[in-house]
Homo-oligomer: A and B are copies of this chain.
C-alpha cells in the first residue's frame, strides 16, 4: 500500500492500492468526495460505495472533515482528472460540524476570510497564494545561492533609530505603568533590557553593507517594521524584505543584478507553479469583469509575469522621465491626480504606471534621482544635485525595487549626516566602512509582499501574508 500526497497521486500512472489522508472539500450525491491535502490546488476524487457504507459514516463526510481513505487508484471515468480512488475503507479522523464550520463550499468575501485567517488556506485561492509565496521565497534563496551570495541575518531589535526609513516600534521590558526615571525625570533606559532604548528594525541595509565589505556579495531576507498609521491595502506594519548588497558593484551593475534577479524568480514560478498561477489568473479575470471597462487591466496575471520575463527593462534617467511626463497627454489634460510641473517632483504610482504601461510598454528602471528626495546614504553624483538611486517600475503596481550605489566617501557621507542631524556616534561602525578599505558598493531592497501581490494578482497586501499586522490588528 502506497502512502503518497495527492500531488503525487494525481501524477501516478501505475494503478495500485493506495492510502490517502486529507480534508473533504465537497461530498456530493453520497458518492463523490473531493479530497485535498494541501500538497496541490487539485482535489482527488474518491468514489464511495454508499450502499455498503454505514449511514452514520456517510453523514460525517462533511466539508472540512479529516478522513483517511484506503482504496484502489483507477483511471477516472469523469472529466477533469486522470485518476480517482475507488474507496474500500474510510475512517473519519476529525469531524467538521457543517452548522458551525466557517469555510463553506461557496464564495466567501476576502474580508470574512481575513477574520478566519487560521482557516483561509483551506480555500483554493489562499492555498494557491501561500504556495506561491513559498515558491517565491525558495526562488529568491536559490538565485542568490547559485550566484555566490551569502545569506545574512541582520538584527531585528536595533539600538539605532537613524535609518530614517520610517516610524519605529519600541521594544522594551520596562514596567509600562511605572517606568524607572532618571533624576531629570526622563525614562531610565539603563534599566531597560539592552541598557538603552531599542526599536524594531526598518531595514537591514546598513548592517548588510558591513558584510558586503568583507564577504563581497550578501543578501538579507527578513522581517522589517513600520509604525506608521497607514490603513491602506498597500501597507503592513510587519513585512518581509530582501536586500542584496555587493562590494565593487556600481549602479549599472546594480541594475543588471536587479533585472536578472527579478526575471529569474518570476521564471521560476512560471516553470514550477503553473497550476496555481492558472487558477489565480482565472480568478483575477473574473474579478476584473466586475469592474468598469476603464479600470480593467489590459494584461492578465500571466501576461504581466511574462511582461517582466520577456522584455528588457528600459533604463531612463529621472530627468528624462520628468520630461516625458511633463509633455504627456494625461499631464497636459490634467488627468493625473498629481500634475508634474517641474524637476524635483516625487513620482506617484500613476506616473510610474504611465511610463511602464503606456509610454515604454516594458518594465522601467529610473535612475539618478534628485538627492533631496532620497536617503542620506546614496552616492552623490558629480552634478551635486542627483544621487545614484534607481527604482524599478512594474505594470499595475508601480515601484517594485528601490536601490542605489552607496556613498563610499567618508567626507561626503559625514557632511550629509550633519545636514540631517544624524549623530556620528550612532553610526560609528557604518562610518568605519568608509575609513578602512572603502570601495564602490551597491544594493537594493525588494518588499517581499509587493512581489507576492504582483505574482498572485491579489490586490490587498493583507491577503498575501499569513497573519497581517496592521493598525489596530494583531490577531492570531
Q: How far is the CA of A145 from the CA of B134 in the complex (A)?
A: 9
Q: Are A200 and B171 in contact, CB atoms less than 8 angstroms apart?
A: yes
Q: Are B118 and A130 in contact, CB atoms less than 8 angstroms apart?
A: no
Q: How far is the CA of A176 from the CA of B435 in the complex (A)?
A: 37
Stretch at the interface among A208-216, A259-267, A347-355: A208-216
Q: How far is the CA of A238 from the CA of B207 in the complex (A)?
A: 16
Which residues of chain B come closer than 8 Å to A155, judged between CB atoms?
Answer: 238, 466-467, 469, 474, 476
Which residues of chain B come closer than 8 Å to A101, judged between CB atoms?
Answer: 436
8 Å CB contacts to B: which residues of A422-459? 429-430, 432-440
Q: Are B156 and A238 in contact, CB atoms less than 8 angstroms apart?
A: yes
Q: Are B118 and A131 in contact, CB atoms less than 8 angstroms apart?
A: no
Which residues of chain B come closer than 8 Å to A65, judged between CB atoms?
Answer: 437
Q: Are A471 and B214 in contact, CB atoms less than 8 angstroms apart?
A: no
Please tell me which one of the listed residues B121, B137, B227, B437 contacts residue A96 in the complex, with CB atoms under 8 A apart: B437
Which residues of chain B come closer than 8 Å to A174, judged between CB atoms?
Answer: 176
Q: How far is the CA of A21 from the CA of B65 in the complex (A)?
A: 61
Q: Is there a chain B Cβ closer than 8 Å to A16's Cβ?
A: no
Residue in B closest to A222 when the chains form the complex, CB atoms? B223
A177 smallest CB distance to B (angstroms): 6
Given contacts A121-B215, A474-B155, contact A7 B148 (CB under 8 A): yes
Which residues of chain B come closer than 8 Å to A237, judged between CB atoms?
Answer: 157, 193-194
Given contacts A153-B240, A176-B170, A214-B121, contact A439 B38 (CB under 8 A): no
Residue in B closest to A20 when the chains form the complex, CB atoms? B248
Q: Is there a chain B Cβ closer than 8 Å to A10's Cβ?
A: no
Which residues of chain B come closer than 8 Å to A215, judged between CB atoms?
Answer: 38-39, 121, 127, 130-131
Q: Are A223 and B153 in contact, CB atoms less than 8 angstroms apart?
A: yes
Q: Are B94 and A408 in contact, CB atoms less than 8 angstroms apart?
A: yes
Q: Are B438 and A216 in contact, CB atoms less than 8 angstroms apart?
A: no
Which residues of chain B come closer than 8 Å to A68, judged between CB atoms?
Answer: 248
8 Å CB contacts to B: which residues of A205-241? 207, 210-211, 214-217, 222-223, 225, 227, 229, 237-238, 240
A225 smallest CB distance to B (angstroms): 8
Given contacts A153-B466, A156-B156, contact A439 B93 (CB under 8 A): yes
Q: How far is the CA of A131 from the CA of B216 in the complex (A)?
A: 11
Which residues of chain B come closer than 8 Å to A185, judged between CB atoms?
Answer: 177
Q: Are A466 and B121 in contact, CB atoms less than 8 angstroms apart?
A: no
Q: Are A435 and B118 in contact, CB atoms less than 8 angstroms apart?
A: no
1/0 per residue, CB under 8 A from B, across A356-380: the answer is 0000000000000000000000000
Q: Is there a chain B Cβ closer than 8 Å to A392's Cβ?
A: no
1/0 per residue, CB under 8 A from B, across A160-192: the answer is 100000010111111011010100011100000
Q: List 12 A-B contacts (CB under 8 A).
A: A96-B436, A121-B211, A138-B145, A155-B238, A157-B225, A159-B474, A159-B475, A169-B193, A170-B172, A170-B176, A177-B186, A194-B471
Query: What 15 new A-B contacts, CB under 8 Å, besides A96-B437, A177-B181?
Result: A5-B216, A23-B214, A37-B216, A64-B436, A64-B437, A94-B439, A101-B436, A130-B150, A130-B215, A137-B151, A153-B465, A176-B187, A177-B187, A193-B229, A195-B473
